[in-house]
Amino acid sequence: MGPAVDDPDHDARLAEAAGDYFDRFLLKLKVTAERHPTEPHHHLAFLGVQPSRQGTGLGTALLDAYHRVLDASGTPAFLEATNERNSRLYVRHGYRAAEPVYLPHGGPPMWPMWRDHAGACNEGAAG
């Protein structure tokens, strides 16, 4: 839950994972970087469920487990939804969507989304 660790192998590992899409992924990172929050948060970079298992509650189970850890530490979350269906899922889990970022060269829109940790709206209230 601390600051991101500088990884000297990051680009090599990303190139291996992205394969032929490496250059497009770098472009995505560049275009969306200006919309990333600067306050401390945890970035949910990837969450995936096999298409045949989508709609069965697996994504919700993953998010619930992730949010329990974040809420226990008082950490907000940031992510970028890759489509409107995913955006609606994240909204149901307490995220707020910003205006989408449109990727160049026919890329999809990306919705930057923020979730305060549970209890954030009660902070500072008299007790």
Q: What is the value of pTM for the model shown?
A: 0.81
pLDDT at 57 over 50: yes
Assess contact for 104 and 30: CB atoms under 8 A: no
- The letter for the amino acid at 56 is T
Helix (H, G, I), strand (E, B) or coil at 6: coil
Highest mean pLDDT among 9-18, 23-32, 88-97, 117-126: 88-97
Instruction: For residue 16, name the pLDDT band (cuts at 50, 70, 90).
Output: very high
Question: How far is CA 37 from each of CA 47, 59, 78, 85, 89, rounded to the nearest angstrom?
Answer: 19, 24, 8, 23, 21
pLDDT at 105: 84
Mean pLDDT, all residues of the chain: 87
pLDDT band at 127 (very low <50, low <70, confident <90, very high): very low
The two beta strands, 96-97 and 109-115, are: antiparallel
